[in-house]
Amino acid sequence: MKLKNAIEWFWLIVKYTLVGLSIALVIRGFLFIPVPVEGNSMQNTLTQGDFVLMEKFTDIERFDVIVFQMADGTTYIKRVIGMPGDTVSYRGDQLFINDQLIEEPFLAENLAHDEERIPYTNDFEFEELMGVKKLGKGSYFVLGDNRRMSKDSRSFGAISEENILGKARIVYYPFKRIHLV
């Protein structure tokens, strides 16, 4: 009788392990996907060597940090500044969306350590930069938080909704940098 109980316990453990692994694979493959951070364009929010979990099931909102892929296969992580239908401009290091001044609290740490006397974000007017009056349907304007070192919509244009892979949600590695994005 003891052997039968041991065999039953063994198979129960095997079943629970397989179910647990299956759930973990589904979560990792479809809900939360690990993405490495390369480069310093999102400094201090994200740094070179961070690993973030990306999710694909919530809508994109202004100031979300997104992961997207360009036509050449290059993957970027940037912050959404302009949404479909918006115009975006910078004047005197201030963000204007649809001609309304908008605060950028996520830049506070970067600006606090900035000893240079040059603008953090160079001035631009949307129509001059993008060649259109406003962002089209399914188009997003993205910038890196490290504005002086970021290759973003100012250089490669608006991001199409189809190119967005998901939103960066959590830095999970290195452990000393674990935080919500």
Would you please indicate which residues are annotated as catalytic (active-site) residues?
A: 41, 78
Q: Which helix (H) or strand (E) holds 128?
A: helix 126-130
Whether 91 contacts 119, CB under 8 Å: no
SS3 label, residue 85 = coil
Distance CA 153, CA 129 (A): 9
Q: CA 68, 74, 80: angle at the middle one, nearest 5?
A: 30
Contact by Cβ (8 Å): 142, 153: yes
Q: Retrieve residue 19's tokens.
A: 């179910």
Check residue 156 and report its DSSP letter. H
